[in-house]
Structure 1
Amino acid sequence: MEPVPVEPVSLAEPELPREPELPREPEASAEPVPLAKPEPSPEPPAQAESPAQAAQAVPGQEVPTQAVPGQPVPPAQAVPPGPQQPYGSQNPWDPAAAAQGGVPGGGYAIPPLGPAPTDGPPGYGYDPLISPDYNGWFRRATTIVKVGWRPLAVLQVIGGVTALIVQVPFLIWALTASSELTESIENDPEAAPDLGLFLGVIGLTFLGAFIAILVAALVSLASMRIGVAVATGAEPDVGAALRQALSRMFPLLGWQITAGFIMIAGVCACILPAVYLYAVFVTIPAVVAFERTNVIGRCFSLFHRDLGAAVARVATIAGFTIAASVLASIIDGVVSAITGASAGSLGSDLPDEVTTGALLGSALLTSVISVVIGGAVAVLTSQLTLTAYADLRARVEPLSTGMLAYEIGLQAPPTAPPTTPPTTPPAQAW
């Protein structure tokens, strides 16, 4: 029997799909390859210069301390470990904010009372004291009054109470002396009147008026400082304002006396020149508070540079003052009619004690009412005068609220942006 052939059985595992082969590098040739000169190793990529390094490379170049709004921010770089000192100063100068305009120096701004106004002098941004037109002027003054009415009212109360304390004793003595003088003349018409009482009444009247003028000058100067403090966002300090005003009270009084003689000369010539001179000298308190020299000539130059703007502002201030005087006169007439002081002064059948008491009570009451009305109106007119001065001066020379704050002693003189580069961070090790 022949053997049956047996086919060999393969024990190998089934073939799996192969992964694609990666390209192999060509095998080295047996032939010698000429050696090439070694190429220089590539240098590490240059690191972007920091702002401090760039400032050191170009002396005097300003170092930007923050990104300009609206521009893309460059990618941040790795900072080496360890404490770092921030670039720039604590109050960096922002070129973008300067380009948009506004008041320099870190925020001279009135606390917001609504949408920020957009008006301002030509070529400048919004300024809390300077305006290009009548509406802006009146709005700035009323805004200062709304924000700072408390310290402004305190100044007027101090001035009014001081004036009453000084004037009331003089008023009592003057009324008593006048009553005695009238009684002596009625009892003996042929006898010579006592001129001592007459001169005493006149002297005390002028002395009381002089003290009232001093107090009014002090309050007027202090109101200028309070108004600038409110406009710059500083804290109004009534005590500091009065101390600073006290040092300039007598210069203001001297210039007011000079202006008074000039206005008297205008009255002697004609009524119209006196009105014109009054309009010119309305800004005397502001000129003395901020400039203090060549006051008379400065008032004329400010008034004549833009006559229309000056007349509009001065007429408004005079209108408020006249309205207050008319209102006080009306109330004086009503009080006199109620107390019967007018009948007593004309010589009625009332006893002398009652007549003198009626006169004294009427005079005291009308004085208090006049002080209250005058103080309330002065709160507004003082700031109208301040903003009118700022407007008129800005038409003569470049001006900002920061400059006024420096001139009145509220802030240090404005400085240029810092040019010294900040401390450079430690160099990185490569």
Structure 2
Amino acid sequence: MSYQPNPYDPAAPHAPLGQYLPPQSAFVQPGGDPYHDPLVAPAHGGVGGWFNRIGGLFQRSWKSTLAIIALTQLLPAMIIGVGMLFAAVYIGLGALELEGNGSTGEFEAAAFFAFFGVLLAVILVLYVVQLAGYAAATYSVTRQAAGTPVSLTESLGYGFRRCLGLFGWYVPVALMIIVGVLACVLPGLYLMAATALVGPIFLFERTNPIGRSFKMLHNSGGRVLGRLALIVLISIGVGFAVSAVEAVIQFAVDSAGTQTFGPTENGLALVTLGAIVATVLSTIIQLPVTMFQFAGILLTYTEQRGYEGATTLHLNAELR
């Protein structure tokens, strides 16, 4: 009986050239074992394969992912949250001033719109920074999964090169979702699911990410929808815990401010301070959830690419 090499053994010799032999692609290539690919779950591996890849991603790349998301997601979220609180304080102080003067006048329109115009501009800039962080984290975990050394500076540089392109695609995505929600809730939910993979598709393929995301959802046989549902359910569960912590802190500070100062500027300042503390703490607690959402979306995409024959090495070569 002739020797039959195991096609899944990475140590198996490559096919020799010439004669009547199978093509080289029929033999396992270096790093091509589909059952141990670090980013691409094996075909029909189920939810277990997907969760295993998420665990492997965090084992390899948790430090770099944490650093990138803390810099580009955590800090902007804190700034946006605190900025919204100061906007509320601005309105509250204006109302107190009008009440104290016995006036029934209105806010000065120019100052009001200028303030919120600046706030909107800051929110948009910080959103672009968050997109840069998403691209940087994708670059970092893909390079590390392929065994390529990568620095934080290199990852952030890639992220900021790609963030405006991501922003350009997410504008029509946001408009589609808004229209879907206004038309009826279900179309909005469908559009959220159908465009969930736009980010990684743009970074890896850069060709019609919206249409490609729709196609992946429809051709997945429910896999993409199931993975997205798991991400949403886990995020909602942790979100309730975060909201509970924030509500307890806010309630305690509000009670103290009302009993001590009443509806005065000092009372409003104390309530605002409590709201800032609650916002900062809830944002920090939310950080692991953000990391899980990032990993879940990315590995949902790579799992679908696996059905098309892609491996981590292919994905690493595409990411440039």
CA distance, structure 1, for counterparts of residue 228 and residue 74 of structure 2: 28
Aligned residues: 301
| Structure 1 residue 202 corresponds to structure 2 residue 202 | no
Displacement after TM superposition at 1:260 (Å)? 0.7
8 Å CA contact 2:246–2:278 kept in 1: the answer is yes
Structure with greater helix percent: 2
CA distance, structure 1, for counterparts of residue 192 and residue 237 of structure 2: 17
Q: Which residue of 2 aligns with 1:363?
A: 275
In structure 2, the CA distance between the partners of 1:342 and 1:249, relative to structure 1 (3 Å rule), is: farther
CA distance, structure 1, for counterparts of residue 256 and residue 107 of structure 2: 24
Q: Which residue of 1 aligns with 2:48?
A: 135
Q: What do residues 7-60 of structure 1 show as CA deviations (whole Å, max 9, x unaligned)?
A: xxxxxxxxxxxxxxxxxxxxxxxxxxxxxxxxxxxxxxxxxxxxxxxxxxxxxx
CA distance, structure 1, for counterparts of residue 203 and residue 89 of structure 2: 40
8 Å CA contact 2:257–2:271 kept in 1: the answer is no
Among 174, 178, 196, the alignment partner of 1:264 is 178
Q: Match for 2:300: what amino acid?
A: A
Q: Which residue of 2 aligns with 1:406?
A: 317
8 Å CA contact 2:132–2:163 kept in 1: the answer is yes
Q: Match for 2:216: what amino acid?
A: L
Percent identity reads: 22
Q: Which residue of 1 aligns with 2:63?
A: 150
In structure 2, the CA distance between the partners of 1:176 and 1:107, relative to structure 1 (3 Å rule), is: same
Displacement after TM superposition at 1:100 (Å)? 6.0
8 Å CA contact 1:177–1:201 kept in 2: the answer is no
8 Å CA contact 2:69–2:134 kept in 1: the answer is no
Q: Which residue of 2 aligns with 1:303?
A: 217
CA distance, structure 2, for counterparts of residue 213 and residue 207 of structure 1: 10
Displacement after TM superposition at 1:327 (Å)? 2.5
The higher radius of gyration belongs to: 1
3-state SS, counterpart of residue 195 of structure 2:
helix
CA distance, structure 1, for counterparts of residue 256 and residue 315 of structure 2: 50
CA distance, structure 1, for counterparts of residue 184 and residue 260 of structure 2: 41
1:44-63 correspondence to structure 2 within 5 Å: none
Q: Match for 1:222: what amino acid?
A: A
* Cα root mean square deviation, aligned: 3.0
| Structure 1 residue 280 corresponds to structure 2 residue 280 | no
8 Å CA contact 1:162–1:215 kept in 2: the answer is no
1:55-94 correspondence to structure 2 within 5 Å: 94=13
In structure 2, the CA distance between the partners of 1:142 and 1:326, relative to structure 1 (3 Å rule), is: same
Q: Match for 2:53: what amino acid?
A: R
Q: Which residue of 2 aligns with 1:82?
A: none
8 Å CA contact 1:152–1:379 kept in 2: the answer is yes
| Structure 1 residue 318 corresponds to structure 2 residue 232 | yes
Gapped runs of 5+ residues in structure 1?
1-67, 71-91, 109-117, 410-430
In structure 2, the CA distance between the partners of 1:307 and 1:211, relative to structure 1 (3 Å rule), is: farther
What is the TM-score of this pair, normalised by structure 1?
A: 0.63
Q: Which residue of 2 aligns with 1:290?
A: 204
8 Å CA contact 2:138–2:298 kept in 1: the answer is yes
Q: Match for 1:321: what amino acid?
A: S
Q: Match for 1:221: what amino acid?
A: A
What is the TM-score of this pair, normalised by structure 2?
A: 0.82
CA distance, structure 1, for counterparts of residue 110 and residue 86 of structure 2: 13
Q: Which residue of 2 aligns with 1:95?
A: 14
In structure 2, the CA distance between the partners of 1:213 and 1:137, relative to structure 1 (3 Å rule), is: same
Gapped runs of 5+ residues in structure 2?
16-23
8 Å CA contact 1:230–1:236 kept in 2: the answer is yes
